Structure 1
Amino acid sequence: MSQLHTLLAQADAQCLARGVRFTPIRRRVLELIAASGGGLKAYDLLDQLSVEHAATRPPTIYRALEFLIQQGLVHRIESQNAYVACACPEHAHGFQLLICRACGQVEEIHFDEISEQLAARAGDQGFRVERQTIELIGLCAPCLALSTPSTRS
């Protein structure tokens, strides 16, 4: 089973367990985002979906994205105003995104202790965290290798 099929099967099961509707349009939006490999903007989704469904409009896309975010299936990349599929939808804790500035690849990592420490520190200040997005922007290993001059003689 491919990674995309596994992700969609997890999403199906998660929505069923929560008693929420995983409609065909929500499924297709998740599928397009997951297949992109990097961040995908809402209007890119609209362009792709309008080819398949001429009646697709921006509110349809934004409602689907809001649902997918609420269900923990998609993350919003704040710095790019784009969306990426959650690599671990069963993981209910904080996440961090590694974003390659060269190729656009996005990787999700989980250091729960960072999220917990930030929430605790905010709580000490009388602030309740409702959502946190931590984005680390740099170069992925393949792009870093391409940018580093060879040390061979």
Structure 2
Amino acid sequence: MSREVKALSQNATSKPHSHHHHHDDAKGFVQAVEHASEARGLRLTPLRKEVLELVAAAGKPVKAYDLLDQLRDRHGNAAPPTVYRALDFLLEHGFIHKLESINAFVSCHHPAEAHQVPFLICDVCSSAQEVCDERVAELIEAQAKALGFRPQAQTLEVHGICKQCRKD
């Protein structure tokens, strides 16, 4: 193990982790995305905003076809490509995250900054916690570098049972 990986490993136990559940203030989140879009010169169309609002309001990871059903309830004529284009835009600009293992989407708690974070996903209630600790991404990046590997993307998802479900 390289010195930088060892140092990150040792520090990982000494600093507190910051966890966020994905069911915080949906309206405030959408406003933060609107501000970030404006600052970056991005066009948050009414449909993109509506999809964003649905993801934010879900309170837990939501699948694309569930979003499509909700849009059809409101508009009647929404098609899968419409939803996927909106999701692609939101993903591309870091406003939402895709949880690959469950093929679902959650809002990002830091929409104004590009970052990669691991998620803790409850297999009982389907909640997802964003672990906002850049040391994890740095540790993976350093280990990859030590092995001569050049990562292009990171998706770390840890499945288990959340504190609330363990109590119940």
Q: Give the TM-score normalised by the residue count of structure 1.
A: 0.88
Q: Does 1:72 align with 2:94?
A: yes
Q: Does 1:23 align with 2:41?
A: no
Q: Does 1:39 align with 2:95?
A: no
Contact 1:101/1:139 (<8 A) preserved: yes
Deviations 1:64-85 (A, max 9, x none): 1111011111100111111111
In structure 2, the residue corresponding to 1:136 is in which secondary structure? Answer: strand
The total of aligned residue pairs comes to: 145
Aligned equivalent of 1:124? 146
Aligned equivalent of 1:100? 122
Q: CA deviation at 1:100?
A: 0.9
What is the RMSD computed on CA atoms of the aligned residues? Answer: 1.5
Return the alpha-carbon distance in structure 1 between the equivalents of residues 46 and 164 of structure 2. Answer: 35
Return the alpha-carbon distance in structure 2 between the equivalents of residues 60 and 127 of structure 1. Answer: 36
Q: Structure 2: which 5+ runs fail to align?
A: 1-23
Q: Structure 1: which 5+ runs fail to align?
A: 147-153
Q: Which residue, out of 74, 86, 104, partners 2:108? A: 86
Q: Which amino acid aligns with 1:74?
A: I
- The structure showing larger relative contact order (alpha-carbon pairs under 8 Å, at least 6 residues apart) is 2
Q: CA deviation at 1:93?
A: 2.5
Q: Give the TM-score normalised by the residue count of structure 2.
A: 0.81
